[in-house]
Each structure stands twice: as structure tokens, then as C-alpha cells.
């Protein structure tokens, strides 16, 4: 072939590839997933993961719907249409994301595009961003920032929302609504004190199904108990044993592969005993179909020989006092770890209710009710067991966990109901109720083996 003919052919091929390749890259990706009785928010998160384009929706509106569907070689838009079939929701596609909203809901919406940086103007990825109502700070929507510190949320127009941003080791900042807010978070010097970095590794690592937070050696380890640390993780909100993973719902929590059934167990574990925490937003097939999110805590394997101990107490005073005491003893020798733990909780509560009911007819009837409720209880739980590591490839252990109430749990209520007709008293009732309950012993045992073969 002549040189000029070769150049002409090469030029034609270059032009063809420049046309074909962009067309190919713009072809929506097709995928297949099986959904069996999945909560709708969890189904949308799985589709978002496979399709790659963000899906923005309200968890509060979608959480009560469940999905069973077989999605075979569909695009992200087609998959969304499949899971929304039979629900009161529709999908609207934007250039960068999909929006899920109720049918017939024509409320105008607006985008909130913001940026979160630190004191050095460096991006803070995986910061928690919450959209709150202005009056009572009720949670409306939420997300986490991207790698570049940016975030995107959808909100109804005309409402003066508050935007709350938090990041591990930095002071939380709250700003009034703005369509393009910028947050510059300052370090929380109290939390950052005594934090030692033992290795040059990121605090947050991205995994195939969520995020992993390295706790040991970071400000997370100074959060007190595991229960106090959890709300500081990316995607996680809540407190007092009631947690929520944004866009997913209530998570199932594991500690070293053991499912947490009593949330007070999180109060008994100190944050500085935790090595890492995983927040799984798209649980895989190894979890039950109704599991919308998972948090897995991995504790530090203690090294050293001899006897050690730990004691912790907390006290709070409102109308009544509440206290918790925790004590642990541990003995280690040649790979054998023996432990005994005790936890005592004293709980007191006080509540006062005032109720007025007014009916207007031929006469005006009004009933006023005043009620005072008190509750007192004490509870003990313990843990006894061992871990044994004969070598670096094998380990096994057993733990026994008893729990019981101490004495009686007392619940009392007293008050008065007064009924008036045209401001004239017609009836007056004084009432008092008292209830005492006593629970026996609850027993639980857990055994494990972890090893490598070959």
C-alpha cells in the first residue's frame, strides 16, 4: 500500500473509533440481581450499587414497602421501574441522579449542592450531612460527602431547613439552608488530644458493600463507650440503642461475629477496645432478606501476660438518678485468655402528664387529668469465658452470659381526674396504681472457632 493510502486508512479508523467508543461508553450498564422480601430502601441501594448512578429518595416514605423481584439484564432505570411497580412512587431521571417521589406529589424541589473542608481547605470525605426541620430539628434527609468533600441532596422549596455537618475529630457545624452551602470544620482539640497514629492509613476505607472506620489510634477511640461512638460513624445516626443507617434503616449489629441482641452490651464495651467498625449499606446474601444494614465491630485482641482489670462508672442526675457500673478482670498466659465481667444498672424514671378534653354542645363538658408516673429497677448481667490461641492460625473460645433483675421493678402511677359541666364540677376521681415485677435468670452461651486450613 502507498504511504498516503496507509495514512488515509489510519485517519478513517481513528475517526471511526472516536465515534464508536463514546457511544459504547454511554450505553447504560445492564445487570441482574435477585430481591426476596427486601425493604424498598435496601433494594434501591443495591440497584444504585450495580447501576452506578445515585438514587435519591426519602427513607421515611419508602421504609414500609417490601420488594420481591427477579431483575435480569436490566439497566438501572429499568430496575428501578421494576421495584417501584405496585407502589405509590415514580422515578424521575436527572443528569447526575434519579429521584424517587410519590405519585401526584407536585411539590417543587430544589438541589442542595455543598462542600465540606477542614481548617486547611482540604476536603473531608464521608462527613455526615443531615437536613433538619427548623423548629424541632427533626431528621428529613441525609447523606455523606464524596471523596472530594462535595454532597448533593434534594429538598422541598420554601422551607427554612437547617443543615448539620459532622466529621470524626472535628466540631459539628450547623447552618441555615442555602442552595450552595460551604462548611469549614475546625478540629475538636479535646478529642484530638492523646490521639496517636500508629500507621499511615486512612481513617475511613471504602469496601465493596460499605465503609470501614479504623477506630484504634483515632479520635473515635476516645468516644467513651461503643454506644457513644456509633453515631459518629459515616451514615450512622441515633443514640441510646436506637440507631439508623441513612437511606437503609435500623442496622443489625455484630461484635466479633456475635450478633448483639441486648443493646446495653454496647454500653459495656469501651471505644478504645475496638479495632475497627464496618458500616455495610448493601448487605449480601449471607444476611437475612429483611436485613437492611449491618454494623460490625471488631475488638482489639489483647496481648501480654498476667492479671489485668478495668472499672467504669457513669452517673446522671435529672429528676431522678441513674447509674451504671462495669467491672472486668482478665488473666492471660501462653495464648489462654480468661475473663470475667460484671455490669450493674440502676434506672429511675419520672414523668408527668396533663391532659384536657373539652366538648361543646348544649353544655360545655371539660375533663382535666393529671398523672405522675415513676419507675425504678436494678439489673445485673455478667460474662464468664475464655479465648485460646494455640498458634497464629487457630483460635477458639466460649462465653457464658447470665442476666437477672435485682429485687423488684417498681412502677407507680397516681393522679386525679376532674370533670366539669359549664364550669361546675360534677365528678372527681383520685387514682393510684402500683406494679411490682421480678424477672428470673436469663442464660446465654456463645462458642466460636476461627482457623486457617492449607
**pLDDT tens-digit profile of 107-153?**
677 888 999 999 889 999 999 999 888 877 778 888 889 889 999 88
The sign of the torsion formed by the CA atoms of 256, 198, 334, 340 equals: negative
Can you give the pLDDT at residue 5?
57
C-alpha cell of 375? 419507675
Residue 15 CB neighbour total at 10 angstroms: 10
Looking at CATH, the fold of the domain delimited by 194-299 is given as Ferric Hydroxamate Uptake Protein; Chain A, domain 1 (2.170.130)
User: Mean pLDDT across the stretch 366-382?
Assistant: 92
From residue 41, how far is each of 53, 178, 235, 291 by CA, in Å?
A: 15, 27, 14, 11
CA distance 38 to 293: 11
Decide if pLDDT at 245 tops 60.
yes
Q: Do 31-102 and 194-299 share a fold?
A: no
**CB-based contacts of 129, cutoff 8 Å, min separation 6:** 114, 116, 142, 143, 144, 145, 151, 153, 163, 164, 165
3: helix, coil or strand? helix
Class of domain 31-102: alpha beta
Can you give the pLDDT at residue 14?
53
Q: 184: pLDDT confidence band, cut at 50, 70 and 90?
A: very high
Closest-CA residue to 65 (of 86, 90, 39, 91):
39
Can you give the pLDDT at residue 303?
62
CA distance 277 to 235: 12
Q: 109-117 and 182-184 as β-strands: parallel, antiparallel, unpaired?
A: parallel
Can you give the pLDDT at residue 24?
46
Residue 401 phi, psi (nearest 5) = -130, 100
Residue 267 phi, psi (nearest 5) = -75, -25
Q: What is the CATH number of domain 109-189?
A: 2.60.40.10
C-alpha cell of 435? 406494679
The C-alpha cell 492460625 sits at 393
Closest-CA residue to 231 (of 55, 220, 254, 109):
220
CA distance 83 to 66: 9
The C-alpha cell 489510519 sits at 10
Decide if pLDDT at 89 tops 50.
yes
Can you give the pLDDT at residue 102?
82
CA distance 378 to 344: 7
Residue 307 CB neighbour total at 10 angstroms: 10
User: Mean pLDDT across the stretch 55-78?
Assistant: 85
Can you give the pLDDT at residue 400?
93
User: Mean pLDDT across the stretch 63-92?
Assistant: 88
Q: 195: pLDDT confidence band, cut at 50, 70 and 90?
A: low
Select the more confidently predicted residue: 350 or 6: 350
Decide if pLDDT at 198 tops 50.
no
Residues of the chain above pLDDT 90, percent: 23
Instruction: Provide the whole-model pTM.
Output: 0.64
* Interhelix angle 40-51/76-84, nearest 10 degrees: 170
CA distance 164 to 176: 9
Q: 287: pLDDT confidence band, cut at 50, 70 and 90?
A: confident
Which of these ranges, 29-33, 47-51, 132-136, has the smallest mean pLDDT? 132-136
Can you give the pLDDT at residue 13?
55
**CB-based contacts of 403, cutoff 8 Å, min separation 6:** 262, 379, 380, 381, 382, 441, 442, 443, 444
User: Mean pLDDT across the stretch 283-300?
Assistant: 83
Residue 189 phi, psi (nearest 5) = -60, -30
Q: Where are the domains of the chain?
A: 31-102, 109-189, 194-299, 306-451
Amino acid at each position: 500500500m502507498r504511504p498516503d493510502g496507509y495514512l488515509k486508512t489510519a485517519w478513517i479508523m481513528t475517526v471511526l473509533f472516536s465515534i464508536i467508543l463514546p457511544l459504547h461508553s454511554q450505553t447504560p450498564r445492564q445487570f441482574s440481581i435477585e430481591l426476596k422480601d427486601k425493604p424498598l430502601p435496601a433494594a434501591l441501594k443495591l440497584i444504585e450499587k450495580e447501576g452506578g448512578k445515585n438514587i435519591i429518595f426519602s427513607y421515611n416514605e419508602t421504609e414500609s414497602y417490601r420488594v420481591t423481584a427477579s431483575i435480569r439484564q436490566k439497566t438501572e432505570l429499568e430496575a428501578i421501574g421494576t421495584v417501584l411497580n405496585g407502589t405509590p412512587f415514580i422515578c424521575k431521571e436527572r443528569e447526575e441522579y434519579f429521584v424517587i417521589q410519590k405519585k401526584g406529589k407536585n411539590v417543587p424541589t430544589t438541589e442542595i449542592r455543598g462542600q465540606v473542608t477542614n481548617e486547611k481547605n482540604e476536603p473531608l470525605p464521608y462527613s455526615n450531612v443531615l437536613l433538619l426541620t427548623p423548629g424541632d430539628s427533626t431528621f428529613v434527609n441525609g447523606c455523606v460527602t464524596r471523596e472530594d468533600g462535595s454532597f448533593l441532596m434534594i429538598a422541598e422549596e420554601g422551607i427554612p431547613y437547617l443543615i448539620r455537618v459532622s466529621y470524626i475529630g472535628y466540631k459539628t457545624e450547623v447552618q441555615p439552608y442555602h442552595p450552595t452551602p460551604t462548611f469549614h470544620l475546625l478540629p475538636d482539640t479535646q478529642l484530638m488530644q492523646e490521639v496517636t497514629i500508629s500507621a499511615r492509613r486512612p481513617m475511613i476505607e471504602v469496601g465493596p458493600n460499605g465503609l470501614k472506620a479504623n477506630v484504634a489510634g483515632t479520635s473515635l477511640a476516645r468516644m467513651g463507650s461503643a454506644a457513644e461512638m456509633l453515631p459518629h460513624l459515616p451514615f450512622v445516626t441515633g443514640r441510646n440503642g436506637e440507631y439508623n443507617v441513612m437511606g437503609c434503616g435500623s442496622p443489625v449489629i455484630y461484635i466479633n461475629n456475635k450478633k448483639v441482641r441486648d443493646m446495653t452490651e454496647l454500653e459495656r464495651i469501651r471505644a478504645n477496645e475496638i479495632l475497627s467498625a464496618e458500616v455495610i449499606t448493601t448487605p449480601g446474601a449471607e444476611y437475612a432478606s429483611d436485613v437492611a444494614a449491618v454494623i460490625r465491630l471488631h475488638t482489639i485482641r489483647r496481648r501480654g501476660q498476667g492479671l489485668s482489670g478495668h472499672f467504669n462508672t457513669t452517673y446522671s442526675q435529672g429528676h431522678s438518678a441513674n447509674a451504671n457500673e462495669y467491672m472486668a478482670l482478665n488473666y492471660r498466659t501462653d495464648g489462654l485468655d480468661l475473663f470475667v465481667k460484671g455490669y450493674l444498672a440502676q434506672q429511675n424514671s419520672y414523668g408527668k402528664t396533663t391532659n384536657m378534653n373539652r366538648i361543646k354542645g348544649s353544655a360545655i363538658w371539660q375533663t382535666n387529668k393529671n398523672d405522675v408516673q415513676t419507675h425504678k429497677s436494678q439489673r445485673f448481667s455478667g460474662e464468664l469465658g475464655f479465648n485460646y490461641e494455640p498458634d497464629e492460625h487457630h483460635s477458639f473460645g466460649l462465653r457464658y452470659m447470665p442476666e437477672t433483675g435485682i429485687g423488684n421493678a417498681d412502677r407507680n402511677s397516681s393522679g386525679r381526674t376532674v370533670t366539669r359541666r359549664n364550669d361546675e364540677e360534677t365528678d372527681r376521681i383520685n387514682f393510684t396504681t402500683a406494679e411490682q415485677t421480678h424477672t428470673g435468670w436469663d442464660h446465654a452461651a456463645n462458642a466460636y472457632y476461627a482457623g486457617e486450613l492449607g
